Amino acid sequence: MAAEPASPPIPWNAIEAWATSAPVKPSGTDVAEKTAARTPPVPADPSAPAGDTTTAGTDAATTAARPGERKTTPQAWMDRYAQISAVMGSRLKATALNQYRQLFEIHYLMEQYDKALYHLTNMLKEPRKWPEEEAIGWLAGRLWETALLKGGNLNAETLKKFYDEWVVKERARLKLQASVLSSAALKIQEQHYEGHQAYFQTTQNIAELIRQKELEGESNPAALFEMSERFHRQHPDVPVVHLRFLYKLREWYPQFPAVRNGTVQQRISHALAGDRMRLYKEAAEEMELLLQKWPQAGYSTNGYGNYYAGRYWQYHGDALKATREKNALRDARDAWQKALAHALKVQQEFPQCPLNEADDGETSTIQSMIRQLNDEDRLGSRIGR
């Protein structure tokens, strides 16, 4: 493969000014100041669209349902947001100041897009420390997407530069993947790439669209679900924003079709368990809630609800064990026991579930899961084997 042509010098000051919409801080900024600034305060109104501070400190927990009335933010979302904030605050404190990718992920997740962009530009300054992110276009892709989510006055030329770089590197990555992925897996990645292209080309006002649809959702559940469909396809991938929309749908509009059929509830569970969140215990509990309160939902009648509840308990147990904290192994075993109970239920009560079919000629997904849970480093039993 021919070497890529050398890139022209990057105007760091211009990029930082564009990314943060503020003067670039001098390099000698006091570390204590940086550390204090890393912990995001919990906004007065966790349901407000990003950047909207007009009602903070007053009756910020409500938004207009129609002229003259206010709609109360669901308590279920307020509680969940407080929990997410606490978890992310802990992760932030445990992250070193030079771990820019991890810092980016946390600030991006919490809709602090100016700080997220600041960490991305720090990564760009030291590309040799982030060779994979640079090579596959991860950096360029995160730059244009985070800038769109931040909104405000964007430099179209700079935005397009990062988008074009992402397109070239993403195409190259997919070409390499073609030799190692199955045709089905490759098709999924290609569809995601094409969808992301369309997202950039048609929705550069995504920050305003999120605010607009959230306000419209005060009286129209279809507006909230329309955005859930976008978030579910990861255009954009903003799990905390998605959860906010989903909880509002569930609590405000229980008769909305996507709420009644369990779709909203299963998306809540999956969003909590996603790669960025990794709140497996909460995801398992929300999936169990689906099984209890939506017994006619597809996931409740085909075995997949029990499968995902079990998987999330398994992942929670694994995460607990890895902490090596006091009582962690005991709590992990409790989680694995719950996981095993769900797996056995799929095996025994849903024999027609595709998860019980041998996918390698010998072992089904459920059999493999049961064996994993019975491993010596987990439960060490022979239940269900």
Query: At residue 204, does pLDDT exceed 50?
Result: yes
State the CB neighbour count (10 A cutoff) for residue 357.
Answer: 10
Q: Is residue 271 part of a domain?
A: no
Q: Is residue 152 part of a domain?
A: no
**Gap between the Cα atoms of 358 and 23, Å rounded:** 59
Buried b (16+ CB within 10 A) or exposed e, 112-124: bbebbbbbbbbbb
Type of residue at 123: M
Q: Is residue 334 part of a domain?
A: yes
Structure letter (DSSP) for residue 364: B
Q: Is residue 361 part of a domain?
A: yes
301 φ, ψ (degrees, to nearest 5): -105, -10
Residues 6 or more apart whose Cβ sits within 8 Å of residue 237: 231, 276
In tens, the pLDDT along 260-279 reads 999 999 999 999 999 999 99
Range of the domain at 305: 284-385
- Locate tokens 């995902």: which residue? 308
**Gap between the Cα atoms of 63 and 73, Å rounded:** 7
Query: At residue 32, does pLDDT exceed 60?
Result: no
Q: Is residue 233 part of a domain?
A: no
Across 73-87, 140-154, 340-354, least confident range = 140-154
Rounded mean pLDDT, 240-255: 98
Q: How confident is the model at residue 71 (pLDDT cuts 50, 70, 90)?
A: confident
What is the percent of the chain where pLDDT is above 90? 69
Query: At residue 16, does pLDDT exceed 80?
Result: no
Query: At residue 48, does pLDDT exceed 60?
Result: no
Across 70-74, 226-230, 295-299, least confident range = 70-74
Q: Is residue 198 part of a domain?
A: no
8 Å CB contact between 219 and 65: yes
**Gap between the Cα atoms of 107 and 214, Å rounded:** 21
Q: Are strands 62-64 and 70-72 parallel, antiparallel or unpaired?
A: antiparallel
**Coil, strand or helix at 345:** helix
8 Å CB contact between 216 and 208: no
pLDDT of residue 104: 97
Cross-strand pairs, 358: 364
**Gap between the Cα atoms of 250 and 245, Å rounded:** 9
pLDDT of residue 8: 43
Query: At residue 144, does pLDDT exceed 70?
Result: yes
Cross-strand pairs, 251: none
3-state SS of 114-135? HHHHHHHHHHHHCHHHCHHHHH
* 202: its two tokens: 């048609």
**Gap between the Cα atoms of 93 and 108, Å rounded:** 16
Query: At residue 62, does pLDDT exceed 50?
Result: no
In tens, the pLDDT along 173-193 reads 999 989 898 889 999 999 999
Q: Is residue 294 part of a domain?
A: yes
Cross-strand pairs, 62: 72
Rounded mean pLDDT, 54-58: 31
The pTM is what?
Answer: 0.81
Q: What is the DSSP string of 319-381?
A: HHHHH--TTHHHHHHHHHHHHHHHHHHHHHH-TTSGGGSBSSSS-BHHHHHHHHHHSTTTT--
Q: Is residue 161 part of a domain?
A: no
122-to-6, 83, 261, 275, 314 alpha-carbon distances in Å: 20, 29, 45, 23, 36
When divided into structural domains, the chain yields a total of 1
Query: At residue 382, does pLDDT exceed 90?
Result: no
Structure letter (DSSP) for residue 375: S
Identify the CA nearest to 291 among candidates 275, 323, 276, 313.
313
Residues 6 or more apart whose Cβ sits within 8 Å of residue 341: 310
